[in-house]
Amino acid sequence: MRSIEGKNPEPRPKYIRTSVSGIWDKPSNLNNVETWANVPLIINKGHAWYTGIGTEKSKGTKLVSVSGHVKNTAVVEVPMGTTLREIVFDICGGIPGDKKLKAVHFGGAMGGSIPENLLDTPLDFDALSSLGATMGAGGMLVLDEDTSMVQMTRTLLDFLSKESCGKCVPCREGVRQMLKVMDRLCENKGRPGDIELLEDLCEVSRKASLCSLGRTAYSPVLSTLRFFREEYEASIAP
């Protein structure tokens, strides 16, 4: 392809941010497609219709991506206020092999784990936040009775350590040090004081990191410590 002057155009850089040039060489940075998808419905049916769905502070519907130890993995759209139990058992069919449900981890890698006895919690921003979980993109990981919550948390931290851009020390080194502690715990070689060390690292990461990744990377650790602390304590070497 040649320009009007008959000269070859300047070579395009190998990597171009989609907010500058994406599809059809036009700016293509669209944030939160799920939110935008609601706009036509609200325009056509009115705000009263939309606000009639959901809870007092969390309106409308939510897409929930259900995976893990569940009979029917799926992406489901449910009204806000639907309980986590309804999603797991009524919509997705429950746990394979008639095993017991141990927990659901909600909100992706930076979300939090919610134990079975709190599964009647409604899908609501404030309700999830009070349990240390986030709504996020609606990721729900279902965990059966055989799951090691320590091992599951270690897997999430491994992912987050690779996601860190490395710019700030609290995130880059904080998550890495948490992962080292988790490695020991997963091998049942935890040391006295490791749990307190994890809590300290979480606090530093939360307060001192520059971006949301570092400021929320502690969430899976603190939520499992809150509800499944006995599993951490059992991983401390005698």
Amino acid at 98: D
3 belongs to a structural domain: no
State the CATH number of the domain containing residue 195.
1.20.1440.230
Please name the residues in contact with 227: beta carbons below 8 A apart, sequence gap of 6 or more.
103, 113, 114, 115
pLDDT at 11: 52
Residue 85 domain flag: yes
The overall average pLDDT reported for the chain is 89
Shared-domain flag, residues 153 and 190: yes
What is the pLDDT averaged over residues 11-34?
Answer: 62
Residue at 178 is within a domain: yes
Mean pLDDT is lowest, of 28-37, 88-97, 103-112, 164-173, for: 28-37
Cα distances from 69 to residues 88, 141, 166, 224, in angstroms, run: 10, 8, 33, 18
Residue 230: pLDDT band with limits 50, 70, 90: very high
Domain limits for position 184? 149-234
As a dihedral over the C-alpha atoms of residue 66, residue 69, residue 70, residue 74, rounded to 10 degrees, the angle is 30
In this predicted model, which residue has the larger pLDDT, 150 or 30? 150
* 69 and 138 inside one domain: yes
Contact at 8 Å (CB) between 133 and 223? yes
Q: Is the per-residue pLDDT at 148 higher than 60?
A: yes
Q: What is the mean pLDDT of residues 11-26?
A: 58
Q: Is 118 contained in some domain?
A: yes
- C-alpha torsion 233→95→85→109, nearest 10: 50
Q: Are residues 122 and 172 in the same domain?
A: no
| Residue finishing a domain among 144, 177, 199 | 144
Q: What is the total residue count of the chain?
A: 238
pLDDT confidence tier of residue 222, bands split at 50, 70 and 90: very high
Query: Does 83 map to a domain?
Result: yes
Number of structural domains, the chain? 2
Q: Which of 109, 126, 144 is the last residue of a domain?
A: 144
Domain harbouring 85, CATH code: 3.10.20.600
Assess whether 139 and 153 both reside in one domain.
no
Structural domain contains residue 229 = yes
With respect to residue 211, please indicate whether it lies within any of the assigned structural domains: yes
pLDDT for 214 equals 87
79 assigned to some structural domain = yes
How big is the CA angle at 162 (ends 178 and 126), to the nearest 5 degrees?
70
pLDDT at 20: 62
pLDDT digits (tens, 9 = 90+) for 37-83: 888 999 999 999 999 999 999 999 999 999 999 999 999 999 999 99
Residue-level pLDDT at 202: 93
Give tens-digit pLDDT for 162-217. 998 888 899 899 999 999 999 999 999 999 999 999 999 999 999 999 888 888 88
% of the chain surpassing 90 pLDDT: 72
Tell which of 126, 144, 162 closes a domain.
144
